[in-house]
Amino acid sequence: MSLASLLTSEQIVPEMKAAERWPAIVELIDLLVGLRKIDPACRDTILAALKQREETMSTGIGFGIAIPHASSDSVTEVVAAFGRSSHGIEFDALDNAPVRFVVLFIVPKNQFQTHLRTLASIAKFLNDRSVRERLAGAQTKEEILRIFEQGAPK
């Protein structure tokens, strides 16, 4: 499942306010709640699932990328948001480097294969240095979304 199929420009934050992991996750969840992609009544339950996942191991995978994710019976389809930080977010990443790109997604419970495929697709896409460079240089939400739609160079 590609990021382009999961995101609209409304689900993109071109410059995140957060400087640390948990506030960054909350910032993206609150965006999704505000857009009604997540029921406000389910916000805290989903945040708890994300926190539990982060406590197992940071989803900061290196190269300035974090992919916080969880499964929840509060969503019926995969819901995602993307945030970018030019200053970097302290995320306790595997390489100890600040995170510049955060892709948060929630998958319906019992859709384990979808969860794995989504995670793998996002990680593979963002692992491409040229994609990260283009994302870093994008000026608008729409430009960021176009990069996701174009995909990684072949």
Task: Identify the bridge partners of residue 13 per DSSP, sorted by sequence position.
Answer: 83
Q: Residue 139, Cβ neighbours under 10 Å: how many?
A: 8
Are 91 and 60 contacting, i.e. CB atoms less than 8 angstroms apart?
yes
d(CA 72, CA 99): 25
Enzyme catalytic residues: 69
Q: In this structure, what DSSP letter does residue 20 have?
A: B
